[in-house]
Amino acid sequence: MSKKAYFDYGATSPVDPAVFEAMKPYFCDKFGNASSLHQFGQDAQLGVVLAREQVARILGCQQSEVLFNSGATEGNNTVIKGFGFDKKLAAAVGGKAHIITSAIEHECVLESVKFLDKEGFIEATFLPVNREGLVEVAEVEKAIKPNTVLVSIMYANNEIGTVQPIAQIGEMLKKINASREQKIYFHTDAAQAINYLPCDVNALGVDYLTLSAHKFYGPKGMGALFVRSGALFNKLFHGGEQEFKKRAGTHNTPGIVGLGKAIEMVGQKTKDNERIQKLRDKLIDGVLKNIKGSALNGSRENRLANNANFRFEGAEGEAILIALDLEGIAVSTGSACASKSLEPSHVLLALGLEPLEAHSAIRFSLGRFTEEKEIDRVLEVLPGIIERLRSITGGTVNRKDKLLKDLGC
């Protein structure tokens, strides 16, 4: 079997060697607590300060507006639940705050909003998307109520790569806020976007923006949250006075340094994006041309440069994933192979796909280290895999157990 090919950068990326080198001194040599006043602590604090500068430079914000945390899940929970648990805010809007989000958000946003709604803390609206997975600005505006306090729309979708009109939504909210007593704040989950799209928070018009380092070649378990100066904020973690008294806990200095170096490199890798998009287009064109009954999920134009999400009539996504893995090619699907109950992707269902169509989906997500020969390898083996799986099922996606057994799993 040829060298393994990784097409799951949307799930996580490898730590860039330059990022790893930047982190190494902070494990053993500069190991001090960044909150300590002695020299060991100050050496660590310098690493934190530099990383904050690096993040602020890419986001176009003040350093005091950057909070380090464990990742986008924590950041999204912090922002959303901060609104839901605010009793003064609820009283100010007549008893229940209203939060607007979309039907295709990452689970950490959806589940946070659903939890607050179910427990009676807020009123929630989940906006539909069109067939390409786009949120219409007019739909956001139409959903606004007198008690609306937060709009949370992801910048780019993790499954289908659709890029949302964040700047246009931000401009619309700015105009509406000019005549409102209660401001509507704007949050975006930019975990997938940071590598490929401009994330200047002023150009986007957002009050909150969340990031995860492992999505852009930094370490896992490390993230950043932009909170605009003066924006409503209620912390989830209480304890020490770290992160401007907004997020307690000893600084993960190696992780922070790694995030800083990784985001600095994002700004230096624009040519990489052009190369990755050309490879993605080659993959999309090749699959659609050579595999009958294949289709692209999401928008062809408003799409992340590294994302290609397909569905294949008469073949199941998990079975395709396993067959590709046996060929040394790693991809992803919306459900786990070991799961006893196979639930279709909420994102694909929101596009209007039938459950069987959603079950046939596979995501290829490319990255910095993807090579053209790997694309060629996929285009070589994938048509045969789809043909074989269709022959097993008779062209219908309805027998997961039989497919896995026939594949030797």
Size of the chain, expressed as the number of residues it contains: 409
Pairing mode of beta strands 97-102, 122-127 = parallel
Q: Which of 205, 208, 217 is nearest to 190 (CA)?
A: 208
- What kind and span of H or E run contains 26? helix 25-28
d(CA 384, CA 213): 37
- Name residues whose C-beta falls within 8 Å of residue 110's C-beta, 6 or more positions apart in sequence: 101, 126, 346
Known active-site residue 337: yes
Tokens of 378: 């996929």
Q: Residue 203: what residue type?
A: A
Instruction: Report the chain's C-alpha Rg in angstroms.
Output: 22
**Interatomic CA distance for residues 54 and 259, integer angstroms:** 9
- Backbone torsions φ then ψ of 22, nearest 5 degrees: -65, -35
Residue 370 class from Cβ within 10 Å (0-12 exposed, 13-18 middle, 19+ buried)? buried
Backbone conformation region of residue 106, classed left if phi is above 0, alpha if psi is from -120 to 50, else beta: beta
Burial class (CB in 10 A: 0-12, 13-18, 19+), 30: buried
Q: Which of 28, 108, 337, 409 is catalytic?
A: 337
Q: What are the strands, taking DSSP E only, across 228-312?
A: 294-296, 307-312
Residues marked active site are found at 337
